[in-house]
Structure 1
């Protein structure tokens, strides 16, 4: 099983070295990484200031994507879920 994973990765590396990475794919991937990073920062500052009110939203990939894609309304929706749905 491990040999197939290594072989697949080597084939992928060789293909990327010969064909190159498509520009649109790398642009979309880069924008996604930036948005998720901004989401993590939003959640960090929310947890920092929300601690005095007893609010805490865990930082994981789902919450980071929601906060990164939706921004402040995403933080508000995660807070509402935390307050009203999760005990």
Structure 2
């Protein structure tokens, strides 16, 4: 009886795993795209003040997952550390 219940639980876990993986992947891709959009607007506005942060996978990931504090951190790093 316990083996049957354990088997049912394992089957349900394996069935739901691809759906969760697809959901997590979709959320990660969406956050990276939003991060790239944040950086695009930063570069559009910051160009007047001499601020430019390159848009690549790493900077988009940082700004996407951390949000506006990530964009601020990238701007500070670009202005004061990478000069």
Q: Is this a same-fold pair by TM over 0.5?
A: yes
Does residue 84 of the first structure (1) align with residue 80 of the second (2)? yes
Q: How many aligned positions are there? A: 68
In 2, the alpha carbon distance for the partners of 1:41 and 1:34 equals 11
In 1, the alpha carbon distance for the partners of 2:39 and 2:76 equals 14
Flag structure 1 segments of 5+ consecutive residues without an equivalent: 1-18
Q: Which runs of 4+ in 1 moved over 6 A?
A: none
Give the CA RMSD over aligned residues.
Answer: 1.3
1:26-64 deviation line (CA, Å, top 9, x unaligned): 000000000000000000000000000000000000000
- The normalised TM-score by structure 2 is 0.79
